[in-house]
Amino acid sequence: MPTTTAKILADDDRCRRAAYYFERWQVPALTPKQILTQAVEHGLMAVSDPGEAAAAESLRLATEVGLDTAETDLLAVAEHVSALAEFLAWLLRGDTAPYKRPEAIRMPNGSLWTSGAFLGAQERSLRYVALVDRWDAWTQMALENSWQVMGECAAYQVPMSVIVVPIGKLRKGRWSNPFTTAYRHPVAKVLRFKKRDGEDFGSTWDRVLREQDKASREEWLDAMTDDGVLAESLHVHHVDVPENFSAILHITESKLVRIAGTTDPPEPQFSQCFDRIHPCPFRACCPRGLEPSEELGFLHHPAHFPPEIIG
């Protein structure tokens, strides 16, 4: 039975050719953001310590799958991503039970919608963790109209709590935010994030990175709370079931019929190949007129999307 996910639909929106390849090939490397996202979700669902599980998964993905980055110090990037994943998974899970995915549900056309969200409180709603560059009106609008939020709410016809974590832009293999960066006084050794008078820290303060500092998770979190940056670093945004959910489901079915009936690679979207936020993993071959192949580092996808037309 065909499977539907928000990722399939989102990939198709961005570039139909990339979506076609994604369902047929496993990419040889993941971006730091992809590794971070997968590791955090792994930690949230882990039976063991969520932070430790996320950190281990992050390092596993970086070493076994590979890092898609222009940086040369791959170990430093991997350690940075692992430290951030460890802290976020521990912070978001807290003392609660492991997160669970909703059961797959059957769509009107017979396909199964497999959710990328989590069950919410009392399992009567959904929740989704969104790691974003920044939290503003534009990001809010984009999330509310994404398949990961709008599509999930329409499919399950329940509201969603979106846990928004602004992590900033990735620069030189690192994110700069209160989860990754702080300041220590060289004498008092106190850990700080911002001065209460709004001034910058002087040259006497040492800038420290989470992956290199000796502070425990609890000490780092307490310092964030004391300086008032925790409230600025986490947001919960509630989204209701869209009023036009039936129209959204109809669009979903139409897309799936087209996707499943596509037997040849669609036309490329060259403007998407080298997008800074979402660099296409097929950029090494597609713009050059080459197909993905094992010689180029790609592996055949074990769960190929069925080629027959759905319904």
Say what the pLDDT of residue 37 is.
97
Do the domain assignments include residue 183? yes
Say what the pLDDT of residue 304 is.
54
CA distance 78 to 66: 10
Residues 6 or more apart whose CB falls under 8 angstroms from that of 116 comprise 5, 6, 7, 101, 128, 148, 152
Residue 311 pLDDT level (bands cut at 50, 70, 90): very low
Which residues constitute the domain of residue 215? 179-228
Most confident of the following: 18-22, 237-241, 256-260: 237-241
* Residue in 126, 130, 140, 137 with CA at minimum distance from that of residue 165: 130
Do the domain assignments include residue 190? yes
Say what the pLDDT of residue 275 is.
79
Q: What are phi and psi of 131, to 5 degrees?
A: -95, 110
Judged against a pLDDT cut of 70, whether residue 26 lies above it is answered with: yes
pLDDT tens, 3-12?
789 999 999 9
Say what the pLDDT of residue 145 is.
95
CA distance 148 to 116: 7
- What letter does residue 108 receive in the DSSP assignment? T
pLDDT tens, 165-178?
999 999 999 999 99
Average the pLDDT over each of 62-66, 154-158, 185-189, 229-233 and give the range with the smallest value: 185-189
Do the domain assignments include residue 246? no
Do the domain assignments include residue 64? no
Judged against a pLDDT cut of 90, whether residue 74 lies above it is answered with: yes
Do the domain assignments include residue 15? no
* C-beta atoms surrounding 6 within 10 Å: 22
Residues 6 or more apart whose CB falls under 8 angstroms from that of 202 comprise none
- Domain tally for the chain? 1
Do the domain assignments include residue 266? no
Residue appearing with tokens 């950190």: 55
CA distance 137 to 143: 10
Do the domain assignments include residue 73? no
Judged against a pLDDT cut of 70, whether residue 154 lies above it is answered with: yes
Give the alpha-carbon dihedral of 259, 263, 264, 266, to 10 degrees: -10
Do the domain assignments include residue 215? yes
